[in-house]
């Protein structure tokens, strides 16, 4: 370790590393300067235009999420949600509502700005309840529970009250948009928001999409007020999940905790009929491929390649979050470097996240201690095996770094989807692609099988190390063979398919025929999802005859009608109750 302690060498090393770090910092400035040369907004991809063009009857949406997009045409999109929903706002008049990032006393008016045909509505969150809501219940109870990490749950009893108060506040703010066609709510911050909107009298379809995983019943049982939360979720007309794993866990939780069953994708509760479906989120692959191609001449890419000093590059891109498995990943690289010294460099980008929460502060200290230990043991003054960047990067920057890396390492302990896996694949050179090392517990692993990605146990540094070594030394032919089917899947279902599919399904909950115009089915409202389905034309004909027969009524409870399908009985039961017959 004499070299490390030698002040002269250390100073030289610091200057070299600083130069590399400066190139990365300057990348964002390069993006801004290049964009400024052409002040016109970036055009949508062709695929995006196709999806937008087909939506001639696009419902006027209200989108609610914890954060809203920046809507800066001079900057590339920094997240998948922004790429999907900005066109819906700008071209079809949606309203996107979320936190302004400021706190107030709860009386401040909405800050509404026009963006194309639509609007962005930002509101200051109430200071009294924000910490208990965001740092407390949302991110110290729900976040670890949803990621099946109950031992990390930590919050006080009053945090649930703050969580509910913020949701009530959001419902009140959204009420002014009640005349719009539908409302689309995003993520675990707002599980009870649909119930709050209905209590205020909002009668339009309300959908919810969960970006995180959903845990098994035994984990959900440890969440305070879990039954009340799940009941409130059934006030949504449509619940969307990332994967079959999440959807099945939610069904199991309904059965275990509420005694309800999901049949044919629908759960019927005392509140309403709620449809539960899978909508696996995608990316804009064309945009990533374009960014990757344009990045080849960027100074930060040349600087990075120089720093490798002949070693191959692996990349990890994560928020600095204990669910991302960064610590086990670094331990795996320690093992790789012990067996194959100076063979590989890890560029670990750690995006700062939830820095006020103690669990995140502690995890940051742990990760940075591991980075230092590995660099001290395996590095020299001139070469570091782990390049650690505690900063956020734009998608354009990331695409270039992805293409430069021979190995993409995505090893979360649990994740809803993890778009980094898809972004890495989309950014590769088709003739010389890298290899994806992927956690079996990431949602993306439901799409990418073991013949495509190298699937690993995220809690096993040994298994991760073996996969990294295999990926780094994999022949070009096998790399192409693995990459191609993953890219085909990414191209087949994009971020724009995802948003269009969800909106289309949510739109089915809209009223299509007032029931008093269809008097033989009674009063109330009829929509597409309530209409029964029949296996044969004969069943449909029999059901129609019964519906048109004024003398046909439901049998007493416990008896049956010969030839009546379960669907027609169920519909007749609902209609009969509403009409008072």
- Kindly list the catalytic residues: 211, 415
Spatial contact of 334 and 385, defined as CB atoms under 8 Å apart: no
* Beta-sheet pairing, 206-209 with 182-186: parallel
Helix, strand, coil share (%) of the chain residues, nearest 5: 50, 15, 35
Residue indicated by tokens 């696996």: 280
Distance of alpha carbon 125 from alpha carbon 102, whole angstroms: 7
Across 14-47, b (16+ Cβ under 10 Å) vs e yields eeebeebbebbeebbeebeeebeeeeeeeebbeb
**Rounded Cα gap, residues 368 and 411, in angstroms:** 18
Burial of 470: CB neighbours in 10 Å, binned 0-12, 13-18, 19+: middle
Sheet holding 454-456, edge to edge: 386-389, 344-351, 312-319, 407-410, 435-439, 454-456
Are 206 and 194 spatial neighbours (Cβ–Cβ below 8 Å)?
yes
Task: Give dist(CA 495, CA 503) in Å, integer.
Answer: 13
Tokens of 355: 């820095």
Whole-angstrom distance, CA of residue 439 vs CA of residue 452: 13
The distance of Cα 229 from the centroid of its chain, to the nearest Å, equals 20
DSSP 138: I
């Amino acid at each position: 370790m004499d070299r490390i302690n030698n002040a002269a060498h250390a100073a030289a090393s610091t200057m070299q590393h600083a130069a590399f770090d400066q190139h990365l910092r300057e990348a964002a400035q390069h993006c801004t300067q290049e964009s400024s040369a052409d002040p016109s907004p970036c055009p949508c991809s062709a695929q995006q235009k196709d999806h937008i063009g087909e939506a001639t009857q696009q419902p006027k949406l209200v989108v609610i999420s914890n954060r809203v997009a920046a809507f800066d045409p001079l900057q590339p999109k920094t997240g998948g949600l922004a790429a999907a929903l900005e066109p819906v706002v700008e071209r079809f008049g949606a309203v996107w509502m979320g936190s302004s990032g400021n706190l107030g006393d709860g009386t401040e008016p909405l800050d509404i700005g026009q963006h194309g045909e639509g609007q962005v509505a930002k509101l200051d969150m109430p200071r009294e309840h924000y910490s208990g809501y965001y740092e407390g219940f949302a991110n110290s109870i729900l976040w670890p529970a949803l990621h099946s990490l109950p031992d990390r749950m930590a919050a006080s009893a009053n945090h649930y009250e703050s969580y509910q108060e913020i949701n009530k506040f959001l419902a009140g703010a959204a009420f002014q948009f009640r005349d719009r066609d539908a409302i689309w709510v995003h993520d675990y911050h707002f599980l009870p928001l649909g119930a709050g909107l209905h209590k205020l009298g909002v009668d339009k379809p309300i959908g919810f999409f969960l970006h995180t995983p959903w845990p098994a019943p035994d984990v959900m049982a440890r969440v305070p007020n879990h039954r009340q939360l799940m009941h409130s979720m059934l006030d949504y007309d449509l619940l969307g999940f990332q994967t079959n794993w999440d959807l099945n866990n939610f069904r199991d939780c309904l059965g275990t905790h509420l005694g309800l069953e999901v049949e044919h994708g629908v759960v019927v509760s005392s509140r309403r009929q709620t449809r539960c479906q899978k909508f696996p989120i995608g990316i804009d692959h064309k945009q990533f491929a374009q960014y990757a191609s344009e990045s080849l001449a960027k100074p930060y890419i040349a600087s990075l390649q120089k720093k490798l000093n002949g070693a191959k590059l692996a990349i990890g891109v994560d928020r600095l979050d204990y669910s991302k498995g960064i610590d086990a990943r670094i331990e795996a690289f320690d093992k790789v470097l012990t067996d194959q010294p100076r063979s590989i460099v890890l560029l670990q980008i750690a995006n700062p996240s939830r820095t006020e929460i103690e669990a995140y502060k502690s995890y940051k200290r742990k990760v940075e201690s591991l980075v230092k230990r590995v660099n001290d043991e395996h590095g020299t003054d001139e070469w570091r095996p782990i390049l650690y960047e505690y900063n956020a990067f734009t998608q354009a920057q990331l695409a270039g770094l992805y293409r430069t890396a021979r190995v993409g390492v995505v090893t979360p302990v649990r994740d809803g989807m993890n778009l980094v896996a898809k972004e890495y694949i989309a950014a590769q050179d088709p003739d010389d692609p890298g290899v994806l090392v992927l956690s079996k517990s990431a949602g993306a692993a439901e799409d990418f099988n073991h013949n495509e990605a190298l699937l690993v146990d995220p809690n096993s540094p040994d298994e991760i190390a073996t996969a990294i070594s295999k990926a780094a030394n994999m022949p070009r032919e096998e790399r192409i063979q693995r990459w191609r089917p993953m890219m085909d899947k990414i191209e087949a279902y994009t971020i724009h398919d995802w948003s269009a599919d969800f909106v289309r399904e949510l739109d089915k909950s809209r009223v299509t025929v007032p029931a008093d115009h269809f008097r033989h089915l009674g009063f109330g409202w009829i929509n597409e999802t309530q209409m029964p389905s029949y296996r044969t034309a004969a069943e449909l004909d029999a059901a129609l005859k019964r519906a048109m027969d004024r003398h046909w009524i439901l049998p007493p409870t416990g008896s049956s009608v010969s030839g009546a399908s379960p669907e027609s009985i169920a519909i007749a039961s609902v209609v009969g109750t509403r009409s008072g017959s």
